[in-house]
Each structure stands twice: as structure tokens, then as C-alpha cells.
Amino acid sequence: MTVRVIFDVLIVRGKQRPEAPPSGGSCNLGLASYRRSVSETKRAAILKAARENFLKGGYSRAAMAEIARDADVSTATLYKHFSSKDALFTAIVQDAYTGTEGSLYTDITGLSARDVLRNIGRTYMRQQFDGQMNALLRIVIAEVPSAPQLARDAYQNGVLARYDQIRQVIEELVARGDLKPHNLHDGARHLGGMVKEFVVWPALFTPDFQKPDDIDAKIDACIDAYLKIYGAESAVARPREKEIGT
């Protein structure tokens, strides 16, 4: 059967798949690209369905068969992407912490140290509230006694990965002369720890906890404290109110 015929008969729930790649010398390359695109689309659908299932009923109640159904893939396809429920949940946590929308790493070009750190703090806030990271963390904590490896993986691929993103930014600010040389490992935790006091700990113990109206001011206060400890003289002076903007 030719490649053209293969693409002509590929159907997904009554809808024809995207047009086949061009024939000729680029056919194999086009077919590989097509398959990769389909695989990535299915993986994204699985992660979305799994996230919704875990958040709805918790880790223990989530079923792989139900996740596959909600993702509109076969159970075999689900296991092809993720070998176990543990691996699937770990991928969800990792994606939430380090994915395109979740990364705390930021380009410092043209930004003051204060603005760079403010971006980190506000992205952190969005992850925890809008990205439902607080809800995911509650699931992880609930599973520590019965699935300690799951919790360790979530900590390694989530919490520690996020601290590493902060460390990378701090390292660039030190190299640029905006921050004093210091222990970057500890510095990242000092910054993240202050922000956590307002966006993580209260929410973990109060499921209906709402983002405070003055959260931006609280984050700015954390940044002020951090810059007083680690900031170079040029980065410590607080800008005039009209320059702060949002």
C-alpha cells in the first residue's frame, strides 16, 4: 500500500486526518513529522484529561481507563506515552512547574533587577492559583504515606526544578552586577520561601482560600526584603511610584 493510500484511509472518529505530506524525496520526512505531530497532540490531550481527573477525585480515585476515554485515545496509546499512573501524575506536576506557561525562568534583558524578580513572584502566584498548583500539591501530600516515591518524584521534578529556574535567573543578575555574589542555592530558596508564605502555605490548609487583593503589594515587599539582603547598591533603591506601573 502506498503512502498516499495510507493517508487517504486514516480516519479519526469520522473526520479525515490532516492532508498527507508531499510525495517524492521529502515523503519519509513528512510522514515522520506528521506522526510526531499526532503523538504530541495525543500526549497533550492525555495530560489535560489526567489533570482534570486527578483534581476532581484525587490520585487514588483516578483511573487510567477513564483518563484514556476523556482524552479520546485508547488505553494502549495512553500506556505508550506513560507507563504507569505514577509516571503520568509526575509528568503533570513537572509540566505545571516547568512547561512553557509555568517556567519561572525569564529573560533579564532590558529589565531592572526589581522587575525581573517581580516577574518571578507574579508568575509564581499565577502558577499556584490560576494554574491550580496548590490543589496538585494537596494531592501529592495526601499520597506521601501510600506512595512515597510519587511524592519524591513530584518534589524532584517540581519544587526543586522551580528553585533551579530561580537560581539561573539570580546567577544572571549576579553576573550583570545587579546582585551581590552569594550562595545561589540558598538565595533562590530565600526568595521562593518568602513568596510561599503568601501564595502556598495558606492555600494548602484552606481549600477555598482566595488570592489576597493586596497580593502584588505583598510580593513587592518580599522583593524589597530580598534586595536589601542581596542587591547591589544600584538595585536596592526603590523606583518612584509612577515608575512601578502595575
CA distances from 74 to 56, 59, 245 (A): 21, 20, 50
- Mapped onto helix, strand or coil, the DSSP state of residue 132 is coil
Is pLDDT larger for residue 20 or for residue 105?
Answer: 105
Q: How many CB atoms lie within 10 A of CB 186?
A: 12
Q: Could you tell me what percent of the chain has a pLDDT over 90?
A: 48
Q: Mind giving me the DSSP string for 92-113?
A: HHHHHHHSTTT------TT--H
pLDDT at residue 130 greater than cutoff 90: no
- Whether pLDDT at 240 is above 90: no
Q: What digits encode the pLDDT tens for the residues 97-106?
A: 766 556 788 8
Whole-number pLDDT of residue 236: 57
Quick check: 24 pLDDT over 70? no
When pLDDT is averaged across residues 14-27 and rounded to a whole number, the result is 50
User: Comparing 112-121, 160-169, 230-239, which segment has the lowest mean pLDDT?
Assistant: 230-239
In contact, 105 and 165? CB cutoff 8 Å: yes
Pick from 69-83, 100-114, 154-168: least confident: 100-114
Give the DSSP H or E segment for 46.
Answer: helix 27-61
More confident residue, 22 or 198: 198
Query: Cβ of 6: how many Cβ atoms within 10 Å?
Result: 11
**Which of 105, 119, 223 shows the shortest CA–CA distance to 165?**
105
The distance of Cα 15 from the centroid of its chain, to the nearest Å, equals 32
CB atoms within 10 A of CB 232: 16
Query: Are 124 and 198 in contact, with CB atoms under 8 Å apart?
Result: no
Q: What is the pTM of this model?
A: 0.72
Q: What does the angle CA 102 – CA 173 – CA 224 come to, to the nearest 5 degrees?
A: 80
- What does the pLDDT look like over 71-93, one tens digit per residue? 999 999 999 999 999 999 988 88
* CA 235/CA 115 separation, integer angstroms: 10
CA distance 219 to 217: 5
